[in-house]
Structure 1
Amino acid sequence: MFSFFRRKPKEEAPAVVAPEVAPAPVAPETPVQPLPNVSPAPAVTTAAVAPAVEEAEITPAPAPAPEQKKSWLSRLKAGLAKTSSSLTTLFVGARIDDDLYDELEAALLTADAGVEATLFLLDALKKKVKEEKLTEAEQVKAALKTLLIDLLTPLQKPLILGKHQPMVMMIAGVNGAGKTTTIGKLAKHMQMHHQSVVLAAGDTFRAAAREQLAIWGERNGVTVIAQESGDPAAVAFDAVASAKARQTNVVMIDTAGRLPTQLHLMEELKKIRRVLGKAMDTAPHEVLLVIDGNTGQNALAQVKAFDDALQLTGLVITKLDGTAKGGVLAAIAKTRPVPVYFIGVGEQIEDLQPFNAQEFVDALLN
């Protein structure tokens, strides 16, 4: 598995003791305040949560074998093949003239790069061609690669572990984006970096969501906090309280999928965020939005809406193995540059990997 987490020294948090175990001292400066009108939720326990580990024990996952890395890159390239073909064929035997720029503009727009990013790239490319006196089509293609890498590199950011105890992650996204599956994959990644995990089934809106998350919990051997029905914010609060009592490293909270136009449901997400702040002063530490890579410019609209509502800290782009065009990352970088932590190209655990701008552009413009 790829090593993609960057660690900072952990700040030790005082242990918070669950009611059913013997009392332990709690530091007076960080009391756990109960949330009014929130009743405890029964935990659906699939396995015992591992005790918190010392900082010295948290070591990077082994570097991927060359064949594993090659397999990942080949799957990424295959997922972006349609866009890659439409872009790269433009430069075969092409003359550097207005016709080439017009065709490139159309190709970028078709690839979901959006108007703003497309015009930015074209203007920068024309300037680069003139300043560097480029005369060959392959030189222009190489210049476009450089510009794309420069545009996307600010989105490349590692997810930091060990900074908070526990680290509270809120996961959002519309139905069908692969949110719950992504949570399961991320939980496995966390475990490979020696992090104990608790999952919270905060998607009480979709009937099968709780069961789906429980399956991932059982598969990964982690606890899932759930309620048969009730307030998703209460589930989130109880999950954080449980993680603090058990000294768990990471809490990941699933939320109900919804469209940004469903304003009353977006308000529910804001409530969950507020309640997490009551459960732990600094929470949530990460607010991730899971996006289906096939949704094109609609993905950009989702980023804007969820960022306005929740102040996103990162994105996960899924399903880049299908008909995804890939250009939406350029649109996001230019319009709403929220970091892209991970991209996914399939259903397997290893198919979710950290975003790397160089690798992505290489797959797009090989």
Structure 2
Amino acid sequence: MWKWFRSQNGRGEGVEPSSPTAVAPSPPAEGEEEGKKGFFARLKDRLSKTRETLVSRVDRLILGKKEIDDDLLEELEEILITSDLGVLTTQALIQAVQEKVKRKELNDPERLKGYLQQEILNILNLPRKGGDEGIKPFIILVIGVNGVGKTTTIGKLAGRFRSEGKKVLLVAGDTFRAAAGEQLEIWAERAGAEVIRQKEGSDPSAVVFDALKAALARGSDVVLIDTAGRLHTRVNLMEELKKIRRVIQKEIPEGPHRTWLVLDATMGQNALSQARLFHEALEIDGLILTKLDGTAKGGIIVAICNELKIPIEYIGIGEKADDLQPFDPQAFVQALF
């Protein structure tokens, strides 16, 4: 079953979405191809603020320049840092440019933009966890702080899986936030998925335990577990999440098969801090970046991938269900530049 998921999430890295040289086992349906083009157009449009913050400033920097000198590199460093690429990632990129210049492999400022584009693509092209074919039910634990869009993201993921004929079970593990269970039920109804929930204030681990029993009994293909997000009590939150993992592993020893962290791209460097905190406690397998539309801080994707080496699984660029799509590094960089 999960080979399907990998095919959806393995986007043919290194090949442009509309490249005529792309090789696939069978050509995509006309509607599917139109959908990809439509999403790429929306992605390009909704990355406009990030593009203005980063790429347009690089364009203005190199305009009319004859050589790559220290002054140019100093200005480039400022652009990268203020575009939320972070200090460590910026330093790595500047050092790489300096080495190229020193070896006389990069002299023309006009080529600088193309070089940065390729280096950013290299950073974003991270390997994803594999070895998941035939697992049923496939357990995905979704975590993150309040306000990042966890529950909405889970609802959209459920819709994607259901559209492929998968039997999906949603788990209302956020028993802390008022109306979280009701919100998840609405998404489950829209997607045609089942949901397991208990009354507000219940033990989240007990909800997860009941849900796993139900998933095994009902033959669910995918189980998506919503969780509470409370950064201001992060010690308690982390312990609660660890307890949920232990409960999962008692029922399904190899679970959860994925632990995905949802981040709000508008948070910039704070999103990186959140990712680091959660990763240290729970070993995140993948990230979902929401709210990329309307933010100038999309460069944080590069910082997170470079510093934590956690792959981006999905990105969200709007409120509609199809505005959440598998992350394609090549398409993202192409849309950004």
TM-score between the two structures when normalised by the length of structure 1: 0.79
How far apart, in 2, do the equivalents of 1:165 and 1:111 lie? 42
Deviates more, 1:76-85 or 1:279-288: 76-85
CA displacement 1:304-334 (0-9 Å, x = unmatched): 1111121111110011001142211221122
Could you say which residue in structure 1 is the equivalent of 2:6? 6
Could you say which residue in structure 2 is the equivalent of 1:113? 85
Residue 237, structure 1, aligned to residue 209, structure 2? yes
Residue 301 of structure 2, aligned match among 300, 314, 329: 329
Change (3 A) 1:260 1:358: farther
Change (3 A) 1:344 1:291: same
Alignment partner of 1:294: what SS?
helix
1:4 touches 1:354 (CA, 8 Å); kept in 2? no
How far apart, in 2, do the equivalents of 1:113 and 1:260 lie? 26
Could you say which residue in structure 2 is the equivalent of 1:88? 59
How many Å apart are 1:158 and its aligned residue?
Answer: 7.8
How far apart, in 1, do the equivalents of 2:241 and 2:224 lie? 14
Could you say which residue in structure 2 is the equivalent of 1:291? 263
How many Å apart are 1:348 and its aligned residue?
Answer: 1.1
Residue 360 of structure 1, aligned match among 310, 332, 337: 332
How far apart, in 2, do the equivalents of 1:4 and 1:128 lie? 41
Could you say which residue in structure 2 is the equivalent of 1:193? 164
The alignment covers a number of residue pairs equal to 312
CA displacement 1:237-264 (0-9 Å, x = unmatched): 1111101011110111100012175211
Letter in 2 for 1:82: K
CA displacement 1:78-126 (0-9 Å, x = unmatched): 3322332233332322342222211211111111111100000111122
Residue 153 of structure 1, aligned match among 113, 122, 125: 125
Residue 220, structure 1, aligned to residue 191, structure 2? yes
Q: How does 1:240-259 map to 2 (within 5 A)?
A: 240-259=212-231
Q: How does 1:1-366 map to 2 (within 5 A)?
A: 5-6=5-6, 62=29, 65-85=32-52, 86-95=57-66, 96-154=68-126, 157=128, 162-229=133-200, 230-259=202-231, 262-365=234-337
Change (3 A) 1:80 1:160: farther
- Unaligned stretches of 5+ in structure 2? 9-25
Change (3 A) 1:160 1:248: farther
Letter in 1 for 2:165: H
Letter in 1 for 2:50: T
How far apart, in 1, do the equivalents of 2:143 and 2:64 lie? 46
Structure with bigger helix share is 2
How far apart, in 1, do the equivalents of 2:109 and 2:95 lie? 17
How many Å apart are 1:284 and its aligned residue?
Answer: 0.7
Q: CA RMSD in A?
A: 2.4
Letter in 1 for 2:175: T
How many Å apart are 1:144 and its aligned residue?
Answer: 1.1
1:125 touches 1:147 (CA, 8 Å); kept in 2? no
Rg (Cα) greater in structure? 1
2:245 touches 2:256 (CA, 8 Å); kept in 1? yes
1:210 touches 1:226 (CA, 8 Å); kept in 2? yes
How many Å apart are 1:63 and its aligned residue?
Answer: 7.0
Change (3 A) 1:160 1:349: farther
2:51 touches 2:296 (CA, 8 Å); kept in 1? no
Letter in 2 for 1:207: A
2:162 touches 2:193 (CA, 8 Å); kept in 1? no
2:144 touches 2:261 (CA, 8 Å); kept in 1? yes
Alignment partner of 1:353: what SS?
strand
Change (3 A) 1:82 1:88: farther
How many Å apart are 1:133 and its aligned residue?
Answer: 3.6
Change (3 A) 1:159 1:317: farther
How far apart, in 1, do the equivalents of 2:102 and 2:164 lie? 48
How many Å apart are 1:66 and its aligned residue?
Answer: 4.5
1:84 touches 1:364 (CA, 8 Å); kept in 2? yes
1:77 touches 1:363 (CA, 8 Å); kept in 2? yes
How far apart, in 2, do the equivalents of 1:205 and 1:357 lie? 35
Identity %: 48
How far apart, in 1, do the equivalents of 2:41 and 2:103 lie? 35
How many Å apart are 1:4 and its aligned residue?
Answer: 8.1
How many Å apart are 1:129 and its aligned residue?
Answer: 3.4
